[in-house]
Amino acid sequence: ASPAVIGTTTVTPIGASVYVLMDVPMLSAAQSGPSFLVAMTGALAGWRGGVLMQSTDAGSTWASVQDFGPPGSALGTCTNSIGVVEHRVVDSASVLNVTLTQGALYSVTQLALLGGANHFAYGADGRWEIIAAQTCTLVSGTSYVLQNLLRGRFGSEWAMGLHAVGDALILLDTTDVAVIAMSAGTIGLSYLYRGVTVDRDISTDTNRSFAYQGVNLKPLSPIALTGNRDPSSNDWTLTWIRRTRDGGEWRDYVDASLGDASEAYAIDVYADGSYATVKRTLTASAPSCVYASTDQVSDFGANQATLYLKLYQISATVGRGYPLTASITR
């Protein structure tokens, strides 16, 4: 038979899928229930899309949970790391270098930045920090420098000191990042995942184990913990301010939404500044509590002039949120 094709034919490699599973704080109302985020792109330019597969029975059966079209998400790997800063102001000193697998980054105005543009997940599973970058400068090829950063966004300031070279960076564009709905019963359970390129067999990827921990449901750490000791009774009165993971816009005469079914707190009182031994756990249903003199004597043998505390807001779904660690001397 005569050949159907005459001349030179170029075959473009399809390439493998590159994907990141992100158990990150609640960024929008789409994550109000149990869920995590996924970003996917191709290792090569010829990538035609991919599918995230999930197995809940150790690989016996697989189900498709999300499709991704080309070019996919803008994601890459950081070639340096940045550390702890004051997260309540713009970080103009840190410089973050990233090499993208696919995609492109662009600078935005400060107004757009404060309005939610150019937000990224930076880190790895178990230590994601949410950052935002006003200035994204192309160095060469797919390498960028990110500057003028907002750090510790959405209550993730606790992760600022945990970064390492090689951490992932994912642009949290709502059109390119998918929300994977889960159920409360799956929190803490490890399932298997594979990212499979369109028109390729499931065997072209290997198993990746991932356990959703409900990070988007965890209450943020409270702030402004303070206390006063009554000079006559020696009772401590502790007060603080809660934060919300849901909304939080400034509106006249309206408090920030609670974000949980009910308000509850746990305050661990530690023996000393090593925060190794818990002497007592106080509970409260409002942002204040009393540590009575009789309890201090029972716990320490004497009234205390300095308290070493860890304060948590409690969720009915995932339990303790992120702690505020503080010492108070009066």
- Over the stretch 86-96, which tens digit does the pLDDT of each residue have? 999 999 999 99
In one letter, which amino acid is 273? Answer: G
Are the CB atoms for 98 and 77 separated by under 8 Å?
Answer: yes
| Average pLDDT value for the chain | 95
Are the CB atoms for 204 and 51 separated by under 8 Å?
Answer: no
Give the Cα-Cα-Cα angle 162, 165, 168 (nearest 5 degrees): 80
Closest by alpha carbon to 31, among 214, 223, 243, 164?
214
Task: Measure the CA–CA gap between 71 and 192, rounded to whole angstroms.
Answer: 25
Confidence of residue 217 (pLDDT cuts 50, 70, 90): very high
Residue 112: which residues within 8 A CB-CB, separation 6 or more?
Answer: 118
Give the per-residue pLDDT at 10: 76
157-202 per-position pLDDT tens digit: 999 999 999 999 999 998 999 999 999 999 999 999 999 999 899 9
pLDDT at 5 over 80: no
Are the CB atoms for 313 and 265 separated by under 8 Å?
Answer: yes
